[in-house]
A and B are shown apart, each in its own frame.
Chain A
Amino acid sequence: MADVSHSGHTSHIANPNIGSLGVDSRKLGVWAFIGSETLFFASLITTYLVLAPVNAARADFQDPKQFLDIELTTLLAAILLASSLTMVLALAAVRRGDMRLFRVWLMSTIGLGFCFLGGQVYEFQHLYHEGVTLSSSLFGTTFFVLTGFHGTHVLIGAIWLLAVFLKVRKYPDSPENVLDVELGGLYWHFVDLVWVAIFTLIYLI
């Protein structure tokens, strides 16, 4: 069985998942996945920013400043940042074996994730009623593709964490629990990180 230390590093001798680099292959895989996701979201953000002046020059121009609601998205940013805090607290709790606090913090993270999604659905609905759709303008297309993909990632993250929660509840003594929570948490923090970039580059600037 894997011997997971306080820092989350796994013992080389006991764990067959440790590769020649001395790192748990599952953790390396998640970080590599996050690296590829970084490029994926960078390409979507680049597309939005490159096409912004093109949008302004077209006959079907829709001004983002006229439609985007800073108050709502600030609230959404706060929700995701708070969920990152609860996620890291859940990891700290499972590392020290405090399963009651672990459940509280992980369920808080999942709940905050769904609050974020609710806010995003409200924003999309509001924009739709204002006439901004996927095909109404270049702004509509690039904005919905970017934020829609991010929302989908939040949904996948929430489902991932829910699966981890159920697995830990069913097998509370499994030595893999800490790593399972850590890997789900890495993905969750990444979707928060993407929102930090989207919030600044798309909504504030």
Chain B
Amino acid sequence: MSAEAHTAEHHEGTRFYWVIGAVLAVVTILEVAITFAPWPHWIIVAILLILSFMKGAAVVMYYMHLKGDFRVLQLVFIVPMLLATVMLLMFLLLFSTHVGIAG
């Protein structure tokens, strides 16, 4: 690869990281703005969860380079993440009508 081509590839790569950074910043501002919207609480919660998932996915795929990395590395991260999500949802479901626990 020529020096010019290598430099062009490098600028292309770092520009992409800047674009991802800008998107993450915009989404964060959007998240905060949404909390002031006069919408039903469940809609706000749903939008916040979707935006937060998008931010997390962008960090993992592009900054941590998990996208396109070895399958075993994806597995080692995604399986605990799924377990964690299921655990969180199950506990919230279990205790959603049980205020007395530890109280």
Contact = CB atoms under 8 A, between A and B. Distances in A.
Given A31-B77, A43-B87, A74 B32 contact: yes
Interface range, B side: 35 or more
Q: Give the interface SS of chain B, mostly helix, strand, loop or mixed.
A: helix
Contacts of B100: 54
B68 to A, nearest CB: 8
Mostly helix, strand, loop or mixed at chain A's interface? helix
B28 A78 contact: yes
B76 A31 contact: yes
B2 interface: no
Contacts, number: 131
Interface string A189-203: 110110011011100
Report which residue of A34, A36, A53, A81 has the largest number of chain B beta carbons within 10 angstroms of its beta carbon: A81
13 contacts: A23-B73, A28-B72, A31-B73, A35-B77, A39-B84, A42-B88, A49-B92, A50-B95, A85-B17, A85-B20, A189-B63, A204-B31, A205-B44
Interface residues of A, number: 54
Interface string A2-40: 000001110000000000011100011001101110110
A8 B70 CA distance: 11
Interface in B79-99: 79-81, 83-85, 87-88, 91-92, 95, 99
Nearest to B73: A31
Interface centre among A27, A41, A53, A138 (most CB of B within 10 A): A53
